[in-house]
Amino acid sequence: MAKILAVDDSASMRGMVAFTLRGAGHDVSEAENGQLAVDAAKGARFDLVLADVNMPVMDGLSMVRELRTMPEYKGVPILMLTTESHTDKKMEGKAAGATGWLVKPFDPEQLLATVKRVLG
């Protein structure tokens, strides 16, 4: 069981991610945007962060940059949930400090497989 933070402004996407991961026994917290995610991350140490790219208030890229300035989030896997399969868009996330990505659409099995891959 891992502590996972799911960040997405879309309640349906967030719900799907959280539901799936909880079903697999993980302890999932949710945040609606990057700013709320950073706030949540300050209070708890997550093993994995899954975040949408396009969000109001603070987008996913700024969120990753912010998290990577926190010593306790050094090395913590952060995956971007992106609809972009273009390399340059993925690389933007990587450059900001993301670990990798999961391309939308994904179904619960793909999500679980990716999470398992990251958490080992």
Partner 1 sequence: MGKAKTDKADGRVALPADCRIADLATVKAALEAALSAPAAVLDGGMVERVDTAALQLLAVFRREAAARGVAVEWRGASDVLRDGAARLGLTQTLELPAATPA
Partner 2 sequence: MSTVSLAQFHQTFFDESHEGLDAMETALLALDGGGDKELVHGIFRAAHSIKGGAATFGFPDMAAFTHEAESLLDELRDGRRAVDAGIVELLLRSVDCLRGMFARAQAGQPLADAASEALRHELAAVVGRSLAPAAAPARRSDDASTGWAISFRPHQGMLAGGNDALRLLRELGELGELKAEAELDRLPGLGALDPSECHLGWRLELRGDVSRAAVKGVFDWVEDECDLTLEPLPGAEVHHAPAAAAPAAAAAPIAAKAAAREAVAAESSVRVGIDKIDSLINLVGELVITQSMLDTFREDFDASRLEMLQQGLAQLARHTRTLQESVMGIRMLPIASVFNRFPRMVRDLGQKLGKQVRLDLVGEQTELDKTVLEKIGDPLVHLVRNAIDHGLETPDRRRAAGKGDIGTLRLEASHRNGSIVVEISDDGAGLNREAIVAKALQRGLIASGEGMTDEAVADLIFQPGFSTAAVTTDLSGRGVGMDVVRRNVVDLGGSIQIRSVAGQGSVFTITLPLTLAIIDGLTAMVGGEHYIVPLASIVETVQLRGEQLRTVTGGGELFHFRDSWLPVLRLQDAFACGGTRRAIEQGLVVVVEGDGARVGLFVDELVGQQQAVVKSLEANYRRVIGISGATILADGSVALIVDVAGLSRQMTRRRAA
Q: How far is the CB of 75 from partner 1 (least distance, A)?
A: 3
Query: Which positions from 49 through 68 interact with partner 2, judged by CB under 8 A?
Result: 52, 54-56, 68
CB of 72 to partner 1, least distance (A): 5
* 90 vs 79: CA distance, rounded Å: 10
Closest separation between CB of residue 41 and partner 1, Å? 12
Residue type, 24: A
Please answer whether residues 105 and 81 qualify as being in contact, where contact means their C-beta atoms are separated by less than 8 angstroms. Answer: no
Residue 30's DSSP bridge partners are: 6
Q: Which of residues 24-53 bind partner 2 (CB under 8 A)?
A: 52
> If contact means CB under 5 to 8 A according to the sort of partner, which of partner 2, partner 1, none does residue 72 touch?
partner 1
Rounded-to-10 torsion of CA 53, 7, 80, 22: -150
